[in-house]
């Protein structure tokens, strides 16, 4: 499962799920955002063992917190997996597992899943955090010899959190 390049960012309209309750998880695993936002910036970053996409989304009012709450609910309800179609490509998302979230945000969560597409399985890791009305979505897929024990690079997460201080 490839994380989209900055110029190729997917939108919610490109992501279809079999269960609507799983849409927020499908969005973040696909490199897009949850909820209605006012603006966003997409950047690529590189880590030692992962290809990383960083999306910073600005929301109005309480919408940033609502996006985080919707994602949290979806992680709990869709932990067993689901099917998603991303830009016409059907994918099976296996177990969605919470991981250790970074400190330093108003709200934060991290999750991992194995996504299968065309018979190929790939782990995907995501860190999502909120500072005020901004939500950061950082998705990573392993590169090279990195196995499923890779992580979203801490330096990337820390740098984004520092920018929002």
Q: Give pLDDT tens digits for 108-165.
A: 999 999 999 999 998 999 999 999 999 999 999 988 765 667 888 888 999 999 998 8
Is the pLDDT confidence value at 7 over 70?
no
| Alpha-carbon distances, residue 96 vs 79, 92, 112 (angstroms) | 5, 11, 6
Report the alpha-carbon distance of residue 68 to residue 34 in Å, rounded: 8
Report the alpha-carbon distance of residue 123 to residue 132 in Å, rounded: 30
| Closest to 84 (Cα-Cα) out of 27, 130, 145, 158 | 27
Per domain, the residue ranges of the chain are 6-163
- CB of 83 within 8 A of CB of 46? no
Which of the two residues, 13 and 124, has the higher pLDDT score? 124
Per-residue model confidence (pLDDT) at position 116: 94
Under CATH, domain 6-163 is a member of which superfamily? PknH-like extracellular domain (3.40.1000.70)
- CB of 102 within 8 A of CB of 157? yes
Per-residue model confidence (pLDDT) at position 58: 96
Per-residue model confidence (pLDDT) at position 9: 61
Burial class for 113, CB neighbours closer than 10 Å (0-12, 13-18, 19+): buried
Q: Which tokens go with 17? A: 């799920």
User: Helix, strand, or coil here: 105?
Assistant: coil
Per-residue model confidence (pLDDT) at position 99: 93
Is the pLDDT confidence value at 19 over 90?
no
| Overall pTM > 0.85 | yes
Report the alpha-carbon distance of residue 48 to residue 125 in Å, rounded: 14
Mean pLDDT score, 100-114: 95
| Closest to 142 (Cα-Cα) out of 40, 56, 81, 51 | 51
Per-residue model confidence (pLDDT) at position 151: 84
């Amino acid at each position: 499962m490839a994380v989209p390049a900055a110029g190729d960012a997917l939108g919610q309209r490109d992501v279809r799920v079999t269960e609507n309750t799983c849409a927020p998880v499908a969005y973040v695993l696909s490199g897009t955002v949850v909820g209605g936002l006012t603006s966003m910036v997409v950047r690529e970053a590189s880590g030692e063992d992962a290809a990383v996409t960083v999306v910073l989304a600005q929301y109005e009012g309480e919408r940033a917190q609502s996006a985080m709450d919707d994602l949290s609910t979806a992680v709990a309800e869709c932990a067993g997996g689901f099917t998603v179609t991303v830009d016409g490509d059907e994918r099976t998302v296996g177990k969605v597992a919470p991981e250790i979230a970074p400190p330093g945000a108003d709200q934060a969560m991290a999750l991992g899943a194995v996504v299968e597409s065309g018979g190929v399985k790939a782990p995907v890791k995501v860190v999502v955090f909120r500072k005020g009305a901004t939500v950061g979505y950082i998705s990573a897929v392993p590169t090279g010899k990195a196995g499923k024990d890779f992580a979203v690079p801490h330096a990337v997460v820390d740098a984004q959190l520092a920018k929002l201080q």
